[in-house]
Structure 1
């Protein structure tokens, strides 16, 4: 188990890396030598646990821990909640529809107001706050993630380097896209607010705690993750009330967040992900760790939490086969991805069909054909006393099989 424990006791003057108790078959790892004090992230090689039942392990609705996280990890927060309260809890009071965001979540955890947060690795500022409070944090990676740089799809630039990112965001030092192999258009760097998860990753991985150029923060700050995508894609068009400009924006976000938002809004068709140091950002390069800005999402607890606390049990479940499949179904890249059974099987597609037609009496499901990530069935279904033959087509996405077209029985 990859646990990172940045010791922040007041008695110590620097970052102390200490060993921590880890479940059998796992090992603890430190953050020494990583940018911004970030924990090492990458695919997990220790054997994955399976067959974990949260209720049998003692986590119930009555003792469910206080959990929060970042905007980008809200899906993982919800997956954990539903594992205890059930999917029907979406319609009930208390369901986690919102997150406190990255830095506020860390602050609440440090203050003792939370038991567990799911978030990117902490920034240097957060570690300083923990050190001042005499709090030691434990991080266990549950999913892979990566910081990516984006620009409008029309931009012909294809790659960006770490030195160029630093020159842009520390000094506002690159005025034209020609210096990145792009067109003769102004380069407009968009940034996020200081307490966002993507900003923390930029600070940790590239800026290394150095302050961003104030002119960027004053003129081009975007307060939401979705807004960053839209601002980057359409800044040059002038938006709703402005005038088109001879420019292209540069922005940054997190890989899985962009993929998940694209399923909802289609925004990815208006954006290009720049290669970083010549390496493209893909699910494969991120999962295997070859993309240079690969990071992770972590289950974070205070080190003084009792060993049998429900938050520790929930962390263990999130790293089990059951938890990792739940994380994958939310569109994330599990840290144990290589050890999970295939999810794009015909059997899983059939289950998705049965779920879709749950209000019918299903008499027969017949495979029509499959081509790549698309599969089609014919379903003999009865509803309202009428039997009919329906055709349903599904596509496989990172979050599982999704219905793209389907007939409904007349009686439904």
Structure 2
């Protein structure tokens, strides 16, 4: 009898624990508008130059490098892989993108098997910017570098040049079931300073807000710190996982590269970040993206390629990649 009671008690305890975890965690996370896209790996295989199945812009170019030219090595932030891969596909000779082992690896999450002599690299913002300063990359496609990255270049005695070549929107996003459709810039800043902590304070449900953060020195985090005037929370509360999330990124990265049907972009100050509102300047968080290079780079094709990017042909390519041109193509 005593043994039966003990077994029953143990079973009851485990049932209670499982029910408790489901009610307080699993169920809430499944129904609290928190299915917001975390940072995802870019599927680089979709953007490989000279591959028939690649999702690249093909608008044509009157400028073409040959295998005899000194070919600039290109790298960039995850959000801009389609741009510089399309540039290579349009301007560079076939065979200039090479891989360790002879082919692109399915495990190549961060460009690990692009060969050293490949004109395309993918090391993402932090490692790619370091490679630019070290000299293994000639042109880096990115949002504006962070203060730390600019400081590092100065400490190394390196002068860099930043040339804006396109426009992109910095966006905030929530789960598609979150009824909040628009926030003001003041409300967003209040959320990320910890002053607004519940969605009901901005017209939403009575649920706590889970403000997602990005990696230091990444393009999106640098943009966020600039937007927040370097006054924002450094880390989330340990209880934030129970809240309904809000995150931030760049528009095309979110909507085109890691598209997630469960995520919805927010309007800011009542203006939605569509292509028209970015181009005409109505969306308030529109910013340039850049090609960055060392001023003393001796390769004449670096500036030649930058000039082409600013030409009508280059701007048409940027527009075809899903971004807004900085000048009318």
Larger RCO (CA under 8 A, 6+ residues apart): 2
Structure 1 residue 325: Cα displacement? 2.6
1:147–1:293 contact (8 Å) kept in structure 2: yes
Aligned equivalents of 1:54, 1:313: Cα separation in 2: 11
Residues 258 and 208 from structure 1, CA distance in 2 versus in 1: closer, same or farther, beyond 3 angstroms? same
Specify whether residues 292 and 298 from structure 1 end up closer, same or farther in structure 2 by C-alpha distance, changes over 3 A only.
same
CA distance in 1, matches of 2:149, 2:239: 25
Q: In structure 1, what is the equivalent of residue 294 of structure 2?
A: 302
Deviations 1:178-234 (A, max 9, x none): 111111112111111113211111112x12234633336x887xxxxxxxxxxxxxx
The 1-side partners of 2:62 and 2:230 are apart by 40
Counting only pairs closer than 5 Å after superposition, residues 102-113 of structure 1 correspond to structure 2 as 102-113=125-136
TM-score by length of 1: 0.55
1:214 and 1:257 map into 2 onto residues whose CA distance is: 24
Q: Secondary structure at the match of 1:54?
A: coil
Q: Could you tell me which residue of structure 1 aligns to residue 244 of structure 2?
A: 248
> Where does residue 208 of structure 2 map in the other structure?
186
Task: Give distance in 2, aligned partners of 1:52 and 1:135.
Answer: 33
Unaligned regions of 5+ residues in structure 2, if any? 1-59, 103-114
> How many Å apart are 1:87 and its aligned residue?
6.4
Is 1:176 matched up with 2:172? Answer: no
Residues 181 and 86 of structure 1: is their aligned pair in 2 closer, same or farther, counting only changes over 3 Å?
Answer: farther
Q: Which residue of 2 aligns with 1:159?
A: 182
- Decide whether the 8 Å contact of 1:118 with 1:300 is kept in 2: yes
> Within 1, Cα distance between the matches of 2:175 and 2:321?
26
Compared with structure 1, are the counterparts of its residues 277 and 90 closer, same or farther at alpha carbon in structure 2 (3 Å cutoff)?
same
Question: How far is 1:294 from its partner?
Answer: 0.5
Residue of 264, 267, 275 corresponding to 2:267: 275
Alignment partner, residue 319 of structure 2: 328
Identify the match of residue 54 of structure 1 among 40, 44, 64. Answer: 64
Q: Which runs of 5 or more residues in structure 1 are unaligned?
A: 1-49, 221-234, 236-244, 341-412
5 Å-filtered alignment, 1:13-412, equals: 52-55=62-65, 60=67, 62-86=69-93, 94=115, 99-170=122-193, 172-204=194-226, 206-210=227-231, 212-215=233-236, 247-261=243-257, 265=259, 267=260, 269-306=261-298, 309-336=300-327, 339-340=328-329
Encode CA deviations 1:261-320: one digit per residue, 9 max, x unaligned: 36xx5x1x32221111232211111112221110122111122234x6211111111222
Aligned equivalents of 1:137, 1:97: Cα separation in 2: 20
User: How far apart in 2 are the matches of 1:301 and 1:81?
Assistant: 17
Measure the CA separation in 2 of the matches of 1:166 and 1:133.
34
2: distance between equivalents of 1:199 and 1:139? 19
Q: TM-score when scaled to structure 2?
A: 0.68
Question: Which whole-Å CA distance do the structure 1 matches of 2:92 and 2:199 have between them?
Answer: 50
Superposed CA RMSD in Å reads 2.8
- Asked if the contact 2:67–2:93 (Cα under 8 Å) also holds between the matched residues in 1, the reply is no
State whether residues 143 and 334 of structure 1, in contact with CA within 8 Å, keep that contact through their aligned partners in structure 2: yes
> Between Structure 1 and Structure 2, which shows a larger proportion of strand residues?
1
Shift of 1:137: 1.9
